[in-house]
Copies of this chain bind each other. A is one copy, B any other.
């Protein structure tokens, strides 16, 4: 190995006095004159290769090596093009910076500035290329033009740290740097800037340490992980990374998601974002299934990758709420991980351990000895406050709605109800929860953003809120009554060997279909009614469909996941699947094996002890 030639790369902060005559520098061709080629030594220092010193054909933007022959008194730099054979060692020359911070651009309109920033988006328009810049103080954009619709600075990629110079302009009332020169930073210089930005962003992203709205041991134990989630969300916003919030489409899930939505939108606005920023940075999507279906991740990825190509957007962070902590989510997580998406879960369903391997953060009461009684809506509202504290005044009542909606029996339920008792009675909260469930049914899997906000009373229009909830509750109850009148006469009744009362109903042929309440809720309503009629006795209700059974029970110490495993094992060709909680859940199978599966299932239920 011979000795390597040393080539210097002049940092963007360097000035004339940092250049050493006789050294070799890497330069970039800027333009041409009759007497030679002009080149940039860094983002703002130009030199001349006189024709007599030109060795090759130059193209605009080309990288060359030059020897510095002379620096004249007037600052002109005479360069000589050289070609290097053999190995090269490139050394970056870092100089002290005096660049402008993005938050300071508004005071520099009409002036030339130099900034250092991370590239957070690269959007090719039919005219210039628009680079979204992020530094430790904020987000702004820069426009670079080479030819209509042609990508400027094609060597600059999403995520690069750059130094760029240009004039600050106002375009349609928005700040924009018109780029005269931009270069990606490398090596030590890059690391320095990156560290500086990261460090400051870390500090900005770190949530304030505020007390929870109520006393709760479980919440206190979850605090560090919740703060981590708040931090990740805040950082995504500060660095222009989109967030997709997928959530369970029931009252608890909606409450959780809308809390965080409200906090995120408030933060985006505070950062100067407009409606377009909001809609490209945040999307809330209720999920059809109680887990992240392959169809959902497929659609999310399809859109995200297209936006990445079309608008140069970063790939999104996935935020799962009231959803996401079980094995069933893993196939979708694996897809997300192929593209390196970060995934964050805030859930109160019993978590499977294996799932954590895919997650960047996971808030779950089961991790700290709590259970599903600390609902996702409670977690979501507290998390929203960590993201954006001022959101509290709007969403104080959300956890109480979630608590009654999800039938929480945790001590937190009463505390959250007490917190808002002067404005919302327990019945008000129940009404809101039922209204959410009913409206979401008709919204199918649209977010229904504004209607949902009115149901939750966060649009400062109390009259509409009141009338809307009251109407929806009335319609929901009418629909439930009609379903009960239709189904109840067909309920079959028996007593199992363990003494529990078994009620079965075929929800496919003895219930209205494709309307509210759907089969799961229909089974639940029947169960509740029969429990009241059989007070103090153990009760099991099965809502039977062509290829599924919904199980509701009280007073029987059953274990649904265990039964599913056994049935799957015992019944060859049954295709048995499913699960849920210990005593509430559902089982799926192939239609042709329904009778066998149901018969065996009932036998197993009869073998569990009763309370």
Contacts and interface: CB of A to CB of B under 8 A. Distances in A.
A216 interface: no
Interface string A493-527: 00000000000001011111100000000000000
A274 interface: yes
A439 to B, nearest CB: 7
Most chain B Cβ neighbours within 10 Å, of A170, A305, A464:
A305
Interface in A564-582: 572-575
Most chain B Cβ neighbours within 10 Å, of A145, A331, A338, A454:
A338
Contacts of A448: 298, 302
A547 B487 CA distance: 14
Given A173-B127, A486-B574, A275 B310 contact: yes
Nearest to A145: B173
Interface in A159-205: 170, 172-175
Interface string A575-611: 1000000000000001111000000000000000000
A147 interface: yes
A294 interface: yes
B446 A299 contact: yes
A510 B302 contact: no
A512 B575 contact: yes
A31 interface: no
A591 B508 contact: yes
Given A173-B126, A299-B446, A149 B274 contact: yes
B172 A127 contact: yes
B275 A124 contact: yes
Interface string A469-492: 001000100000010011111100
Contacts of A590: 486, 509-512
Interface residues of A, number: 73
Nearest to A275: B310
A57 interface: no
Interface in A128-162: 128, 145, 147-149
A435 to B, nearest CB: 11
Contact of A338 (B444, B468, B488): B468
- Tallying the copies of this chain within the complex gives 3
Contacts of A511: 575, 590
B274 A126 contact: yes
A276 interface: yes
Contact of A305 (B127, B442, B451, B490): B451
A590 B505 CA distance: 13
A339 to B, nearest CB: 7
Given A148-B175, A590-B509, A590-B511, A302 B572 contact: no
Contact of A471 (B170, B335, B449, B547): B335
A331 B449 contact: no
B510 A592 contact: yes
A572 B559 CA distance: 36
A326 interface: no
Given A444-B295, A446-B302, A573 B172 contact: no
A168 to B, nearest CB: 13
Nearest to A574: B486
A460 interface: no
A40 B464 CA distance: 36
A288 to B, nearest CB: 12
A306 interface: yes
B124 A294 contact: no
A124 B482 contact: no
B450 A308 contact: yes
A464 B512 contact: no
Contacts of A175: 148
Nearest to A149: B274
Given A487-B573, A590-B512, A148 B174 contact: yes
A398 to B, nearest CB: 20
A301 interface: yes
A334 B471 contact: yes
A443 interface: yes
Interface in A334-369: 334-335, 338-339
Given A175-B148, A442-B298, A449 B306 contact: yes
A133 B608 CA distance: 72
A279 to B, nearest CB: 8
Most chain B Cβ neighbours within 10 Å, of A147, A451, A593:
A451
A309 interface: yes
A272 interface: yes
A467 interface: yes
Given A124-B275, A173-B126, A464-B339, A485 B446 contact: no
Contacts of A173: 126-128, 145, 147-149
A462 to B, nearest CB: 13
Interface of A: 124-128, 145, 147-149, 170, 172-175, 272-276, 294-295, 298-299, 301-302, 305-306, 308-310, 331, 334-335, 338-339, 439, 442-444, 446, 448-451, 454, 464, 467-468, 471, 475, 482, 485-490, 506, 508-513, 547, 572-575, 590-593
Give me the 6 closest cross-chain CB pairs, A-B, nearest first. A489-B573, A509-B592, A305-B450, A127-B173, A486-B575, A127-B172
9 contacts: A126-B274, A128-B172, A298-B443, A298-B451, A305-B454, A306-B449, A308-B450, A509-B591, A511-B575
Given A149-B173, A486-B574, A490-B592, 10 more contacts: A126-B276, A127-B172, A148-B170, A295-B444, A298-B448, A485-B575, A486-B590, A509-B591, A510-B590, A513-B591
